[in-house]
Structure 1
Amino acid sequence: MADIARVTLGLTRPGPSNAPKINFAAKDIDVLEWSRDLLAVGVIEKDVERDEQGHFKNSLLHRLNEALGGLLGEASSEEEFSGKSAQSIVLRVSGLRFKRVGLFGLGQSASRAVAFVGLGEAIAAAAQASRAASLALALAFSEDLSDGSKPDIASAIALGIVKGIFDDNRYKSNPKMTLLQSVDVLGLGFGPNMEKKLKYAEYVSSGIVFGKELVNSPANILTPGEFAGEVLKIAEEYNDVLSAKIFKEDRMIELKMGSYLGVTAAATANPAHFIHLCYKPPCGPVLTKLGLVGKGITFDSGGYNLKTGPNSNIETMKKDMGGAAAIFGAAKAIAELKPLGVEIHFVVAACENMISATGMRPSDIVTASNGKTIEVNNTDAEGRLTLADALIYTCKLGVDKIIDLATLTGACITALGPSVAGAFTPNEELATEVFAAAERSGEKIWRLPMEESYWEFMKSGVADMINTGPGQGGAITGALFLKQFVDENVQWMHLDMSGPIWDARKSIATGFGVSTLVEWVMKNSS
């Protein structure tokens, strides 16, 4: 990231990206013939069952146990390993071609992508702990899987491995490097389709890593201007399919983006940048136009409704641009995949929400670019004000469908917890598409109601609306607010991703949203 060495910002410069560079390959060899560091075997509870003599009923585990002289059976008994979800056991072995063998539990059954992504993450943790440079993955129940499902399963596990192995150490003085370099997929088939799916996982995971790095970057580094600069780098890297426009304040005024400008008014030290990245296919006609709009608040102080107290989480508010990070992470993956027949507009109204003499005050009235007026009764509900003008702008591009992603409300976390995003849409067709994409991606989304009667809570006595309603149903009223700025002929979904964008236990970004968006785009391509 360029031009950030200002004395007032602490002289911090990020080190180089530690994005994993792992070679995934499907191989047609027996597990006992594989030679390197760690053999990782995914199992369900049924696989660990024993016969009357105490032997594994599963053929793969039986063969491994025989080759190890019964050590696998003894260790799994001692460790009470039963194949339950999140259970694992890793053994150092001798006399075989590989150095370690691990069993990783998937529970009673494994049929969903979320389980296989989780398996990949668990395997990655074991590989990192054992300092493995190479690993092979196999499934004890592979014979029970259909041939058609195996490439998708391998892809999901590969995606999980990259997510699990990535360590964003750009800001550490003594960074640890990722040792894992190669992953061989055994027993799940091979050939062009498998290679295609593994390459797909590689591209999507690179987008996830990019999105994680954006969210993890502190606000003294990733200012709105630096954010725009990162997007310009992506546009230049993939200039055969991507192009970018960056608007500053004068252009925002011309476009009458008063709702957005109300938020930007206080952030004079780091001015706002409106970012529009466009993907056009390398050849052929455009059949569908899609819009992806992300909330891009690079730091949210709350404004004059300042975030205070131990539960305000102001120290995590660099993540308030998580929606924007997700769409640009998806853009990076899509630029690699180059889907045909679809044009995509990635739009972010990037800015900080700060306090100053020029800043927006509670009770101020702002006017969005569609002419609707908003009484600002809470300056800490600023994201929806920026999204309003971003949605209006995107609709004017002639898109058929829009998904907006935002860390919009704490109410959604209260409703769904930290791992599930809330989805709001009046359109059933779009809901079906996005939920199918999320299922294939292993990301958790739950549909919440667009309860129109709650709009009564959002009416102002002096303007068209207020920007936040009462405490109850806050995620719903936030979605209803955004709906006011979307054309009726455009299919639209709002994803409130306040919870799953951030791993509070580790204080790092998760990369949530990238996988689902890429899947959705690919299914909309010709």
Structure 2
Amino acid sequence: MEIRCSSATARDWTGEALVVGLFSDAPGDSSRDLLKARFGDVLLERMERRRFKAKPGESLVLELLNQQPSTLVLVGLGAAAEFNLEQLRKAAALGAKAAHGSGASSVGLALPLEGLPPVAAASAMAEAVRLILFRDQRFKGEAEPTQPPTQVELLGLPADQLSPCQGAATSSQAICSGVELARELVAAPPNVVTPAALAETAAGIARDFGLQLKVLERADCEALGMGSYLSVAQGSDLPPKFIHLTYVPQGEVKRRLVLVGKGLTFDSGGYNLKTAGSQIEMMKFDMGGSGAVLGAMRAIAELKPAGIEVHMLVAACENMISGGAIHPGAIVTASNGKTIEINNTDAEGRLTLADALVYACKLEPDAVVDLATLTGACVIALGDEIAGLWSPSDCLAQALVQAGEEGGENLWRMPLRASYRAGLKSGLADMKNTGPRPGGSITAALFLQDFVNKEIPWAHMDIAGTVWSDKGRGLDPAGATGFGVRTLVNWVLAGGAA
């Protein structure tokens, strides 16, 4: 699918399907006048008969006989005063989805751009079109026929800014490739995406884009004292894989960043077994953090940001039950020497991240960001549209929130309340791996903080609620969302402020 930026308008564009956005509270707006001028009063009468009110999320597809375009898609934008970049993104996705349903091979998007930065608008629309049309049919015996448009034109962009707009639209496709990779990894069943498969995915990125790759086997991790990570892996027949993928830019390295993703390719809960109603069958998405950082690295490798070295770490394994699985009540030692009493084997992600964060800090980075489907408590607190963000660094937290907004991913900064750390105290070891139920996502973040060098800016993102969508939302069809890729890439491209 080719996405082109154009200064043409809905008045003169020719193609198969034209998408036009209309405000609900501006009956005399220019888009309605344009429609009337091009298609006549009969079109407005058809809109009235179909009771199209231009509410947000509303769309109307009209077939135009013996005309070019042959399909007109009207998209509701809601109130003009509330229209912003995020609403533009949603409107572009809605329009592209409706146009695709008509079978059109060429689509023109004529959405209002007044007051919006043109380059950001072009990027947002290009991402929206690509991501809403993504379909994963790898595991269907008979794939449903689906053919996206071969050409999409983003209309109404300023003629003097077409070049930077086209550059942004083109760059967005690399980010979309990263999101799609993350979606495919998260959606795949646990018998397909194993720790070894994640390592092979990293190897493919390294091979295709010239990145450096190191994969630590169990013996290597033992030599580094990663007792916390390996305690989770010991119940599975599948060997753990500690994956270290590195992008090194040409020329001077001005900043070094580390992205850490939780990589539980399946989480049974261990001896604290997940029961009925716990979505155990969905625990293939417990490697959503690793999917996000792998997707981000794939995009970063293609975009090649200057001056920024990026390391990606994934401590991949399964959490299973067997005669060799870790017992509740066991005490293990992490690679920084801290001892951990495991009072719940289903709080395993933080055990794997602990050693990964210690390893990350030894790389002497300028900032570390980890992503994890870590707690159900975060889902209860923020639902399935907002990810939790914890960081002691105001600068890093603000940079990540802004990067998320630019990519249509919502983050909410949560507190790292020091007094809650008392809930992690153990009578036998340095700490327990879980605290009391209240504030569970906060104590999980406090647990991770104990494995980060206090001199290094660090942020933790809990994406447990946002990693999957049962019915689809925004730019995401139903299923895996690839959440986190856009935030991470935008943050890195902006310089990795911390």
Shift in alpha-carbon separation, 1:94–1:44, aligned structure 2, 3 A: same
1:184 corresponding residue in structure 2: 153
C-alpha displacement of 1:99:
1.2
Once the two structures are superposed, the pairs formed by residues 183-332 of structure 1 within 5 Å of their partners are 183-190=152-159, 191-239=162-210, 242-268=211-237, 270-281=238-249, 283-309=250-276, 311-332=277-298
2:248 maps to a residue whose letter is K
1:138–1:188 Cα contact (<8 Å) kept: no
**Cα deviation code 1:180-202 (max 9, x no counterpart):** 22101111135220111111211
Distance 1:275 1:233 in 2: 13
C-alpha displacement of 1:243:
1.1
Distance 1:71 1:100 in 2: 15
Distance 1:434 1:525 in 2: 9
Distance 2:448 2:67 in 1: 60
1:479 maps to a residue whose letter is A
1:297–1:383 Cα contact (<8 Å) kept: yes
**Equivalent residue for 2:134, pick from 158, 166, 172:** 166
What secondary structure sits across from 2:494 in the alignment? helix
Q: TM-score, normalised by structure 1?
A: 0.90
2:442 corresponding residue in structure 1: 476
2:133–2:148 Cα contact (<8 Å) kept: no
Distance 2:85 2:409 in 1: 8
C-alpha displacement of 1:485:
0.3
2:8 maps to a residue whose letter is I
**Equivalent residue for 1:135, pick from 96, 107, 111:** 107
1:285 maps to a residue whose letter is E
User: Which segment drifts farther, 440-449 or 475-484?
Assistant: 440-449
Once the two structures are superposed, the pairs formed by residues 389-400 of structure 1 within 5 Å of their partners are 389-400=355-366
Distance 2:414 2:71 in 1: 46
Q: TM-score, normalised by structure 2?
A: 0.95
Distance 1:187 1:260 in 2: 53
**Cα deviation code 1:355-404 (max 9, x no counterpart):** 01000110001110000010000000000000000000010001110110
Once the two structures are superposed, the pairs formed by residues 346-495 of structure 1 within 5 Å of their partners are 346-495=312-461
1:125 corresponding residue in structure 2: 97
**Cα deviation code 1:249-299 (max 9, x no counterpart):** 01000111000000000112x211000000111x22111111100001000
User: Which segment drifts farther, 470-479 or 126-135?
Assistant: 126-135
**Equivalent residue for 2:56, pick from 85, 89, 105:** 85
Distance 2:4 2:470 in 1: 34
Question: Does residue 76 of the first structure (1) align with residue 44 of the second (2)?
Answer: no
C-alpha displacement of 1:128:
2.7
1:292–1:402 Cα contact (<8 Å) kept: yes
2:19–2:110 Cα contact (<8 Å) kept: yes
C-alpha displacement of 1:331:
0.7
What secondary structure sits across from 1:31 in the alignment? coil
Shift in alpha-carbon separation, 1:352–1:481, aligned structure 2, 3 A: same
1:363–1:377 Cα contact (<8 Å) kept: yes
Could you list the runs of 4 or more consecutive aligned residues of structure 1 that deviate by over 4 angstroms after TM superposition?
Answer: none
Between Structure 1 and Structure 2, how many residues are aligned? Answer: 488
Question: Does residue 152 of the first structure (1) align with residue 123 of the second (2)?
Answer: no
C-alpha displacement of 1:178:
2.8
The alignment's C-alpha RMSD in Å is: 1.5
C-alpha displacement of 1:525:
6.3
Shift in alpha-carbon separation, 1:315–1:24, aligned structure 2, 3 A: same
2:220 maps to a residue whose letter is R
1:3 corresponding residue in structure 2: none
2:88 maps to a residue whose letter is F
2:314–2:356 Cα contact (<8 Å) kept: yes
C-alpha displacement of 1:90:
1.2
**Cα deviation code 1:443-490 (max 9, x no counterpart):** 111111111111111100100111011111111000000000000011
User: Which segment drifts farther, 97-106 or 69-78?
Assistant: 69-78
1:457–1:470 Cα contact (<8 Å) kept: yes
C-alpha displacement of 1:111:
4.9
Distance 1:330 1:208 in 2: 8
What secondary structure sits across from 1:136 in the alignment? strand
C-alpha displacement of 1:114:
2.7
Shift in alpha-carbon separation, 1:113–1:442, aligned structure 2, 3 A: farther
Distance 1:87 1:42 in 2: 10
2:415 maps to a residue whose letter is P
Distance 1:319 1:473 in 2: 23
Percent identity over the alignment?
Answer: 43
**Equivalent residue for 1:520, pick from 483, 491, 494:** 491
2:4 corresponding residue in structure 1: 25
1:295–1:348 Cα contact (<8 Å) kept: yes
Distance 1:187 1:354 in 2: 55
1:114 maps to a residue whose letter is E
Shift in alpha-carbon separation, 1:25–1:426, aligned structure 2, 3 A: same
Distance 1:83 1:188 in 2: 23
C-alpha displacement of 1:129:
1.6
1:505 corresponding residue in structure 2: 471
What secondary structure sits across from 1:349 in the alignment? strand
2:125–2:154 Cα contact (<8 Å) kept: no
Shift in alpha-carbon separation, 1:458–1:417, aligned structure 2, 3 A: same
Shift in alpha-carbon separation, 1:517–1:112, aligned structure 2, 3 A: farther
1:249 maps to a residue whose letter is R
Distance 2:428 2:419 in 1: 20
User: Which segment drifts farther, 168-177 or 406-415?
Assistant: 168-177
**Cα deviation code 1:220-255 (max 9, x no counterpart):** 01110011001100110001xx11111110100011
1:83–1:106 Cα contact (<8 Å) kept: yes
**Cα deviation code 1:2-27 (max 9, x no counterpart):** xxxxxxxxxxxxxxxxxxxx101112
Distance 1:79 1:475 in 2: 47
Question: Does residue 38 of the first structure (1) align with residue 17 of the second (2)?
Answer: yes
Distance 1:414 1:525 in 2: 30
Distance 2:264 2:437 in 1: 22
1:362–1:377 Cα contact (<8 Å) kept: yes
